[in-house]
Amino acid sequence: MKALVYGGPGKKDWTEVPDPQLLEPTDAIVRIDTTTICGTDLHILKGDVPAVQSGRILGHEGVGTVTEAGSAVTGLAAGDRVIISCIKSCGQCPNCKSGLYSHCLGSEGASGIGWVFGHLIDGTQAEYVRVPYAANSLYKLPEGVSDEQAVMLSDILPTGFEIGVQYGRVKPGDTVAVIGAGPVGLAVVATAGLYGAAAVVAVDLDENRLERAREFGATHTVASSAPDWKDQVLAVTDGAGVDVAVEAVGIPETFQMAVDLVRPGGNVANVGVHGRPVELHLEDLWIRNINISMGLVNANTTPMLLRLVEQQKIAAEMFATHHFTLDNILEAYDTFGRAAETKALKVVITRE
């Protein structure tokens, strides 16, 4: 088959590789029908995730068709249309039983890491992929949900909701600031209302993304290039500070912005993947009673979010801005990597 193979920092190639094989009775092989590119893939290509070794097939989001299932796989059969969760779950270890799928202790890859695709094992930017613990890591798709909608449930929607909204402790009536209106930031915007946020303020440098944020449900938008950007956000709260500040970029400057915006007793939810250290000024923060959270998505809310997409309560298809085929995946990377210029949110990459 052909796949997008990582060749070390700054290097990738669409090339022939061996077909995946069942290694365990709990495995399944899935033909990739639709995949996409995540900001984390760009971090990998920059060398920010050293655990990813040269030769690894990239990608951790996908929708496909089961072609083969191991003897221990229940509830799935060849021909089933499925979402491939970005997080694998054995379903048996103490962490999985508590819903902490991101730290699945199953034997696949490395202990304690649920994110394996395109990281510790070969990923989804390929014609086929091997899925460990398939019964718990694949979600059957209802007829009314398209591949384009479903692929957004592999990662960005659960990530935005779980790490931004749930970890950020959003509650009814809150004012939420989302720093960074990229795909994951927009997923926070799109799902903050599920927990009753009264106001959602999107902050970004890019005017196009601020316009998109309004389409996704932001009640206010602020250009961070404005000299008074902070005052504009605080004005929404009569100067008190936001209840929840979500960092969805992954650089020190935006983390500091989130800290600067939150009210005493509020919550800072870090969603962005950081490639370098961030200063945490505890000498100033301790007296403000701020809760700071962060984490890798568990994807334990995927079934609930899938139901909302199916009932058209979440317009997942709005994330898709560009379309490519697998044979043009290098062009898709170029488009996604120049998002400010191309106005890309999520590039949808299909088999044909």
For residues 164 and 231, state if they share a domain.
yes
- Nearest to 131, CA basis, from 34, 47, 58, 31: 31
Count of domains forming the chain: 2
Residues 6+ apart with CB under 8 A from 282: none
| Contact between residue 86 and residue 299 where contact means Cβ atoms under 8 Å apart | yes
Bridging pattern class, strands 12-16 and 346-350: unpaired
Alpha-carbon span 81 to 277, nearest angstrom: 41
For residues 147 and 230, state if they share a domain.
no
Lowest mean pLDDT among 38-42, 51-55, 106-110, 272-276: 106-110
Model confidence pLDDT, tens digit, residues 57-103: 999 999 999 999 999 999 999 999 999 999 999 999 999 999 999 99
Residue 109 has pLDDT above 60, yes or no: no
CATH at residue 332: 3.90.180.10
Residue 16 has pLDDT above 60, yes or no: yes
Residue 108's pLDDT band, with cuts at 50, 70 and 90, is low
Domain residue limits at 176 = 157-294
For residues 233 and 332, state if they share a domain.
no
Q: How many residues does the chain have?
A: 352
pTM of this structure? 0.95
Alpha-carbon span 352 to 327, nearest angstrom: 8
- Predicted local confidence at residue 112, as pLDDT: 60
Question: 145 — alpha (psi -120 to 50), left (phi > 0) or beta?
Answer: beta
- Predicted local confidence at residue 275, as pLDDT: 82
For residues 27 and 98, state if they share a domain.
yes
- Predicted local confidence at residue 162, as pLDDT: 98
For residues 283 and 222, state if they share a domain.
yes
- Predicted local confidence at residue 321, as pLDDT: 97
Model confidence pLDDT, tens digit, residues 133-189: 999 999 999 999 999 999 999 999 999 999 999 999 999 999 999 999 999 999 999
For residues 8 and 140, state if they share a domain.
yes
- Predicted local confidence at residue 106, as pLDDT: 84
Q: With DSSP H G I counted as helix, E B as strand and the rest as coil, what are the percentages for the chain, rounded to 5? A: 30, 25, 45
What long-range pairs does 337-341 form, CB within 8 A, spacing at least 24?
Answer: 337/42, 339/182, 340/206
Mean pLDDT throughout 13-40?
97
| Contact between residue 344 and residue 316 where contact means Cβ atoms under 8 Å apart | no
For residues 222 and 340, state if they share a domain.
no
Decide which of 294, 313, 329 is a domain's last residue: 294
Name the E strands within 165-282: 175-179, 199-204, 220-223, 242-247, 262-270
Decide which of 254, 277, 294 is a domain's last residue: 294
294 strand-pairing partners = 270
Mean pLDDT of the chain: 96
Share of the chain above pLDDT 70, in %: 98
For residues 151 and 161, state if they share a domain.
no
Mean pLDDT throughout 22-33?
97
- Predicted local confidence at residue 81, as pLDDT: 98
Residue 107's pLDDT band, with cuts at 50, 70 and 90, is low
- Predicted local confidence at residue 213, as pLDDT: 98
Phi, psi dihedral angles at 326 (to 5 degrees): -55, -35
Mean pLDDT throughout 244-250?
97
CATH at residue 186: 3.40.50.720
For residues 168 and 263, state if they share a domain.
yes
For residues 164 and 150, state if they share a domain.
no
Model confidence pLDDT, tens digit, residues 110-129: 666 899 999 999 999 999 99
For residues 7 and 147, state if they share a domain.
yes
What single letter denotes the amino acid at residue 137?
A: S
Model confidence pLDDT, tens digit, residues 288-313: 999 999 999 999 999 999 999 999 99
Token output for 94: 């103490």
Helix (H) or strand (E) holding 83: strand 81-84
Cα–Cα distances (Å) from 58 to 37, 97, 118, 271, in that order, read 9, 28, 4, 21
281-307 burial: b if 16+ Cβ within 10 Å, else e: eeeeeeeeebebbebbbbbbbbeebbe
For residues 162 and 113, state if they share a domain.
no
29 strand-pairing partners = 68, 130
Residue 48's pLDDT band, with cuts at 50, 70 and 90, is confident
Token output for 4: 């997008």
Question: 79 — alpha (psi -120 to 50), left (phi > 0) or beta?
Answer: left
Alpha-carbon span 187 to 61, nearest angstrom: 15
